Amino acid sequence: MQIDHYSIQAEYYAKYRPNYPPALFKFIYNQLEENDLVWDCATGTGQVAAKLANHFQMVFGTDLSEGQLKNAIQKSNIEYHLMPAEKTTFLDDSFDLVTVAQAIHWFNMTQFFEEVKRTLKPNGVIAVIGYDKLRVDEVLNLIIEEIYSEMFGDFFDNCRQFIYTHYSNIPFPFEEIETPKFEIKAKWDLNDLEGFFHSWAPVQKVKNDEGVDPVPGFINRVRPHWGEGKRAIHFQIFLRLGRFVEK
């Protein structure tokens, strides 16, 4: 039986995953003709859905992880559904926008994009969003790079190529919209960093398979170089934005 690692760490995911900046959403909204309905695919615990709910009449969030959806942010104009990205029950020509954040590398992209084309309104927009590795400073970046490699080296398998190339090599059958650069910036202490490490699905896989939590060891490697209190951290965002002009 395949274990849903994203359900196991859903509470960590909800609390400690980084948030996308308002400027990113503003840029996406400026490309839209209407703001009635949006589909947030692989919504997880609804961080993106909650932001979209401030702009759209109705948000539909979908995910395959029941645990993630149980921990999702609740708002009156968000509906969450347990269903795959590649085959939904949504009506044709429903959405002004489809978003998928830090997840498309897990999909059957050919089938997903056909579903996006089916469910987008004419001239609707798709936003494929992701972010790169955590960055702090020159010394900590090297340590964190080693931790990423240890955890994600085998876990990502073929999916890692899409993350590490910033989604530049995914198939993208839409009229592409040029985008500026965006960045996630925050102030984190070691508790925030620890929670972020715990949100990783590979960490849960190690805990399940080997009965060992690797996170305390990660923190011990980082601690001597972190200092006291909060540190400025950042993630580079990558964005593929496109318009579907064929119906």
Using CA atoms of 42, 187, 165, 46 in order, give the dihedral in degrees to the nearest 10: 10
Main-chain phi, psi angles of 71, to 5 degrees = -100, 10
Q: Report the alpha-carbon distance of residue 84 to residue 97 in Å, rounded.
A: 18
In which band, very low, low, confident or very high, does the pLDDT at 11 lie, cut at 50, 70 and 90?
Answer: confident
Mean pLDDT of 81-97: 97
Predicted confidence (pLDDT) per residue in 226-245, tens digit: 999 999 999 999 999 999 99
How far from chain centre, in Å, is Cα 32? 21
pLDDT tens sequence across 160-171:
677 778 899 899
Tokens 């400027």 — which residue?
A: 23
CATH class of 5-134+158-185+235-243: alpha beta
Separation of first and last alpha carbons in the chain: 40
Confidence of residue 204 (pLDDT cuts 50, 70, 90): confident
Q: What share of the chain is helix, strand, coil (3-state, %, to 5)?
A: 40, 25, 35
User: What does the longest C-alpha to C-alpha distance in the chain come to?
Assistant: 57
Mean pLDDT of the 97-125 span: 95
Tell me the pLDDT tens digit for each residue of 21-74. 999 999 999 999 999 999 999 999 999 999 999 999 999 999 998 988 998 999
- Asked if pLDDT for residue 77 goes beyond 50, the answer is yes
User: What is the total residue count of the chain?
Assistant: 247
Query: Is the CA virtual torsion 58, 61, 62, 65 positive or negative?
Result: negative
154 — pLDDT class (breaks 50, 70, 90)? low
Query: Where does residue 99 rank: exposed (0-12), middle (13-18), buried (19+ CB within 10 A)?
Result: buried
In the structure encoding, which two tokens stand for residue 101, read together? 């954040």
pTM of the full structure: 0.90
pLDDT > 80? residue 180 = yes
